[in-house]
Structure 1
Amino acid sequence: MKIKQLTRQNRSHWVCSAIAEQNAALSVADRERKYAAMAESPYRFFRGTSHLFWADLYKDWRFTFFGGTAASQTWIQGDAHVYNFGAFANHEGEVIYGLDDFDDAIVSDYQYDLWRLAISVVLNAREHARFDRAVIVKALRHLAKGYLKTVTDRDAYEDPSAVHVTADTASAPLKAFLEKTARKESRGKMLRKWTRVQKNGKRVFDGAHPKLKRLSPTQRKAFVQAFNAYQDALQAQRQPACHFFRVKDVVRRERAGTGSLGTPRYYVLIEGEAEGEHDDIILDVKRQDGPAAHAAMSAEERDTYHSVFAHEGERHASAFRALAEHPDQYLGWLQLEDGMYSVRERSPFKQDFPTDRLEAKKDVYRLARQWGQILATEHCRAGRVLNEDAPSTFEQALRDRSAGREAAFIRLLVAIATHYADCVTADHARFCQGLC
């Protein structure tokens, strides 16, 4: 007997097995693209392996220090990292900055979002090799303080829906970023990127674009039928957008994202509300396979989860409405043969903050604090949706758990973020060495 084969309880084997299982359903080409992206850096690896984070930390006993109760739960983003914050336009036309991806959103303890965001801050800063450990640790402290102060200082009657980050309310460096985004981005620019106007004057998607793929007549027919059902559902809800719906074109969106790379996705071009050449709207239709946290749940938790949500499209929409400051007026879902898909508008102002251009330490600290403030605001907003009868339940729970222990709260976040970032870096090295 080979005694060493009695156990496979080692990090390399477990990580490699988990990655292989997670990506088994991808095509060979998509898997190769995703693995190539994950190999670029520990941060890209972290983004592509959220299932490892949940498997490692979902039952981590340390979350009981400042949470671990029913009251400390809220809707969380589920895959919080610095590039899941971004600029976009709300339905009032303002360019705002906040969480912009709710594919992994779920009701759970707030700390999972805070921990994952803090880990990403470490990995992102290390990737650019511009800041030493002291700067990174100080940035984490600003993140923790920004989050904690925003939650615990909130008045019980203050409406978190009234708080949002625009060029007028943000401080540097977000202020300059949002001003530039509003100035340089537009619906016309987005349409020029993804579409073209035919000789007959009809706008369609650019079939020559490397990230777009035409559907076969059979695929298009099936998609349009599903889309009509989605449209009927919006009309039943009397959504304001419904009266000007007209599908102009639909294509498959290829090679998008990191963690979601290979997930089926479509772009739909519809007639805009206003008159003019550049008013058309692109809808992003993406298959929802469930949050990464689902695999880490117990059987009892999964049973409860499935009793609450009829399908993943409903979960995504519920999370979006709870967390987002101004939910998308096109928000909904449709069902295709291979699963349930979310529907939302692709914002013309969709942009990520370029963290690789940060040079001044003070900008790093300010940005980290603002990330903490934004995450806290969205957690508070979602907590009030979740606890309609006692809207300040979430805020009060964190006040109770952190009162007089603010320094310990910060120390715990710094320790978890730096230690787990080291673990991710080691896992990434194994992955790049071909051990997976």
Structure 2
Amino acid sequence: MSAVAAPPPPPAPDDLAARAQAGRDVRARLPRSSLGRWEASPSRRDPVAILADQEASRVPELVPVRHERMAASPFAFFRGAAAVFAADLASRDHTGLTVQLCGDAHLANFGAFASPERTLVFDLNDFDETLPGPFEWDLARLAASVEVAARANGHDPEEREATQQVLTRSYATAMAELAGTGHLDVWYSRLSLDEAVSSLDAVASPAVRARVQRALRKARGKDNLRAFDKLITTVDGEPRFVSDPPLLVRAEELLPGMEHVDQKAFVAHALEAYGRTLSPERRILLHRYRFVDLARKVVGVGSVGTRCWVALLMGRDETDPLLLQVKEAEASVLEAHLGPSACAQHGQRVVEGQKLVQSASDVLLGWERLETPDGATHDFYFRQLWDWKGSAAVDDMDPTLLGGYAHMCGRTLARAHARTGDPVAISAYVGRGGSMARAMARFASDYADQNARDHADFVARVTGAPPAA
């Protein structure tokens, strides 16, 4: 399969008819119904082996934590098995309609965060696997995650089919709207949480609306001060991370020979190097803070075992903390199938991909390649740990709420794809959404069956325990 990992080409500027025809030509070559077919080939690689290959570069003592989290449920396994899903999609033909992919667009990788204007927006929020590739790979992963989540929540087949229709039709409708607007309008488009909540008013019960409002209040309260209160204690008059092994461990406990003075020198170098990837005004902001403490923090499901640090910096006083997450960036799971990234560093790949896809990104988002205290060299990206960040609890959504959430995700994914792909060609391929929705629903159902089998096999072989009910 030809590599498509170079940046997506810009759409032709003038000939809208030719761009639409290009999308219809792809439809003739690869009918939308063909995207609904999933059947594991006899040569399909063992999913547990794929995951084991990833773990070869992970922190060894954290691999059991990853196993425990992935074994918890089929949805948790799906979240951690992006490499398996990528290998499965790579076995099929694709449209060649290239966008900057999220690369891991499942339901739990959408959420709320603060824009630089301090409004709460809804968008994709994980870009560890971002890479240019065919648009339908993101859509298929999102559709499969909806099916896996809906089954876990006890939704019947008709309810799951209806949610899939909502998801894909919202993507199709949003893409058609964006195909009819100017490039600047596409770029400035974003979904505020207030707009998202108001869209639920017509379909959601008062109890559901109240739950969403509580989630919004929680997201707005999840900021640096909240992180400071939750993660920091006082030791000899100085703020320090609260050690909670293995999930949160202070640096000197991991590296006993690394005294605090050594930490300060290491972090000062790291911040200086990373600061050079920020714009000048944001670099000034960063340098107003002083380093105080460093710890390793376990995050996510699929990311568990990567080297992830949190750094505490303080500003003018104890009410002005800054917590930076410093997260290792490895090769995207898509690169084995779509070709290597054009970026020199994987942290750069993540950051530049995020800025291409997100409607508004963290003002302190940057990257650098660093030699870590253990003497090894790794790529990292930097961002604020919490900045009004909020995620939806999809594991107990009823059909109405999951349908509303799928609608938001579908529209958001379309906007993300329209920023770097050709919305005219993609819209012409997708059409009004009916055929595409049927294909995605069929694929999602078949792949959810596959994921359940893979999860059961993973639990039996890796943890030695019976699968969760």
Normalised to the residue count of structure 2, the TM-score between the two structures is: 0.78
Which of 347, 352, 360 is the equivalent residue of 1:318? 352
Aligned partner of 1:153 in structure 2 is 177
> Deviation per CA, 1:99-149, whole angstroms, max 9, x where unpaired?
1111111111111111001101111111222x1111111101100011111
Partner of 1:267: 310
Q: 1:141 to 1:343 in 2, by over 3 A?
A: same
CA distance in 2, matches of 1:132, 1:17: 33
Aligned amino acid, residue 355 of structure 2: R
Aligned to 1:390: none
Q: Are the counterparts in 2 of residues 160 and 378 from structure 1 also a CA contact under 8 Å?
A: no
In 2, distance between residues paired with 1:153 and 1:13? 40
Listed as ranges, the gaps of 5+ residues in structure 2 are 1-40, 201-207, 253-257, 372-376, 464-469
Superposed displacement of residue 269, structure 1: 1.5
TM-fit CA distance, 1:330: 1.0
Aligned to 1:366: 404
Q: Indicate the residue corresponding to 1:49 in structure 2.
A: 81
Contact 1:281 1:345 (8 Å CA) reproduced: yes
Give the Cα separation in 2 of the matches to 1:322 and 1:12. Answer: 33
Q: 1:402 to 1:244 in 2, by over 3 A?
A: same
Counterpart position of 1:215: 251
Cα pair 1:77 1:106 within 8 Å, conserved: yes
CA 1:334–1:434 in structure 2 vs 1: closer, same or farther (change >3 Å)? same
Structure 2 CA distance for partners of 1:182 and 1:430, relative to 1, 3 Å? closer
Q: Which has the higher contact order (CA 8 A, sep 6+)?
A: 2
Percent of pairs identical after alignment?
26
| Conservation of the 8 A alpha-carbon contact between 2:215 and 2:390 | no
**Alpha-carbon distance in 2 for matches of 1:75, 1:432:** 33
Provide the C-alpha distance between the structure 2 equivalents of 1:209 and 1:424, rounded to a whole number of angstroms.
31
The one-character-per-residue Cα deviations of 1:392-415 (angstroms, maximum 9, x if unpaired) are xx1111122234x63221111111
Q: Contact 2:168/2:433 (CA < 8 Å) preserved in 1?
A: no
In 1, the alpha carbon distance for the partners of 2:384 and 2:301 equals 20
Give the AA of the match of 1:142: V
User: Structure 1 counterpart of 2:445, which letter?
Assistant: T
Of 321, 331, 334, which aligns to 1:290? 331
Tell me: CA distance 1:31–1:211, structure 2 relative to 1, closer, same or farther (3 Å): closer
Alignment map for 1:136-175 (pairs within 5 Å): 136-154=160-178, 155-157=180-182, 159-170=185-196, 171-172=199-200
Paired letter, 2:251: L
Residues 95 and 178, structure 1, Cα contact 8 Å, conserved in 2: no
Q: Which piece of structure 1 moves more, 231-240 or 110-119?
A: 231-240
User: Residues 13, 396 of structure 1: CA spacing in aligned structure 2 closer, same or farther, 3 A cutoff?
Assistant: closer
- Measure how far apart 1:214 and its partner are: 2.0
Q: Distance in 2 between matches of 1:363 and 1:279?
A: 37
Q: Determine whether 1:135 maps to 2:135.
A: no
2:327 corresponds to which letter in structure 1?
K
TM-score (normalizing by structure 1): 0.83
Q: Aligned to 1:266, what secondary structure does the other structure show? A: strand
Provide the residue aligned with 2:378 in structure 1.
Answer: 339
- Please say if 1:225 is aligned against 2:302: no
What is the alpha-carbon distance in structure 2 between the residues aligned to residue 182 and residue 426 of structure 1? 35
Instruction: Report the equivalent of 1:30.
Output: 62
Q: Give the one of 378, 403, 414 matched to 2:416.
A: 378
Distance in 2, Cα, partners of 1:406 & 1:96: 25
- In 1, Cα distance between equivalents of 2:282 and 2:232: 29
SS of 1:153's partner is helix
Letter in 2 for 1:229: A
- Following superposition, the deviation at residue 358 of structure 1 comes to 1.9
Query: Aligned pairs, how many?
Result: 397
- Decide whether the 8 Å contact of 1:167 with 1:176 is kept in 2: no
Equivalent residue for 2:396, pick from 357, 376, 379: 357
Amino acid at match of 1:262: G
Instruction: Report deviation, 1:379.
Output: 1.7
Compute the RMSD of aligned alpha carbons. Answer: 2.5
Match for 2:458 among 418, 427, 431? Answer: 431
Corresponding residue of 1:180: 217
